[in-house]
A = this chain, B = another copy of it.
Amino acid sequence: MKRHVTIKDVARVAGVAPSTVSYVLNGSRAVTAETTKAVLEAVDQLKYRPNPTAQGLVSGAYRTIGVVSAQIYSQYRGRVVAGIHSALRGTGYHPIVSGIEDFAEPDEVLETVMGRGVDALIFHDHFFPPERIAELHRQMPVICVAREIDGMPDRSVLVDEVNGGYLATQHLIELGHTRIAHFVADHHFQGAAQRLAGYRKALEEAGIPFDPALVFQGDNLGDSGLRLAYELLESGVPVTAIFAANDYMAYGAILALHRRGLRVPEHISVVGYDDEHTSGFYVPPLTTIRQEPREMGRTAAEAVLKLLRGEVFRTVVTPTRLIVRESTAAPGHAG
């Protein structure tokens, strides 16, 4: 019914051999202007498009990059994927994304991604077992985003998470805060410890003693920010600011404060992390740390293409910066 037009049809119409059509289309060998013209006309006339599957079979490549990403619902992570898409556009490679479900079984995710055959992999998650990733690394190019794996040097696109934590905390210190709580990101996530390290570094530099009673372990969800803020308030430890390791936890925290009649930033300042798309329209607009997720995605995709071409790639660390909005102010401001 929908008979596909093949290279043979083109060859027949143009009056040449199939191989000549291939040479014209790929420019892989010299062809007379005359023949070229005839072939191109036949291609146009028949609306011929090479069958990618057949091309893939002979080239031995799938022209596909597998992308494993946790928690796609985060706009931040969505933008990393968008960056990958955009860098791959026009290269002939296409991404196949999986791990949309939170914490799907590693094997299942891998099956989804690999089932169709991939030439390389990009991991942007923090739960996939490192040994499994290292094993895959031995078979094909693998790049990790915001994650480093033992035995895989120069295979990561990192963010300066320590600096992110440092900037957030330092901002609060500069405003005059000394009692700053920190809601730690999901412990599966490597950046969690680094953001915490940045937080400690800023405190130390300012001569403020680190108080473990101000540090709470979260899991990145809005609900956890809400719960931790209640916990913090009930613990009775004095506090004038909260640095949440992601925006969702910051949202939850602000809601909890609101419910307890505390206003942000008048009573308590809050800093988030990731600059989700909605954070500029939150009430109050959220001060947060911006990374460049699109840029990270692009870089990861370009790294993979480099490796595929046999070139070398060296781990890059992308910058973080502070976005000051209206959720932070000097303490005692409500007075």
Contacts and interface: CB of A to CB of B under 8 A. Distances in A.
Contacts of A139: 2
A196 to B, nearest CB: 23
Interface in A162-177: none
A54 interface: yes
A89 B112 contact: yes
Contact of A278 (B52, B79, B95, B251): B251
B52 A255 contact: no
A115 B101 contact: no
3 nearest A-B residue pairs (beta carbon): A222-B281, A251-B281, A82-B100
B100 A86 contact: yes
A270 to B, nearest CB: 11
B116 A63 contact: yes
Interface in A273-310: 276-278, 280-285
A222 B115 contact: no
Given A2-B139, A78-B72, A222-B281, A112 B94 contact: yes
Contacts of A72: 78, 81-82
Interface of A: 2, 4, 51-54, 56-57, 60, 62-64, 72-73, 75, 78-79, 81-82, 85-86, 89, 92, 94-98, 100-101, 108, 112, 115-117, 139-140, 222-223, 225-226, 248, 251-252, 254-255, 258, 276-278, 280-285
A13 to B, nearest CB: 21
A85 B98 contact: yes
A255 B54 contact: no
Number of copies: 2
Given A278-B278, A282-B251, A285-B255, A115 B92 contact: yes
Contacts of A251: 278, 281-282
Nearest to A55: B53
Nearest to A62: B53
B73 A86 contact: no
13 contacts: A52-B62, A53-B117, A54-B57, A64-B116, A73-B79, A78-B78, A86-B100, A92-B115, A223-B281, A248-B281, A254-B281, A255-B282, A282-B282
Contacts of A281: 222-223, 225-226, 248, 251-252, 254-255
A130 B2 CA distance: 22
A73 B277 contact: yes
A116 B254 contact: no
Nearest to A279: B278
Contact of A116 (B94, B252, B282): B94
Nearest to A297: B100
A225 B282 CA distance: 12
A243 B62 CA distance: 48
Contact of A52 (B4, B116, B223, B276): B116
Contacts of A51: 57, 117
Contacts of A225: 281
A278 B97 contact: no
A15 B82 CA distance: 48
Contacts of A116: 52, 63-64, 94
Contact of A115 (B81, B94, B96, B226): B94
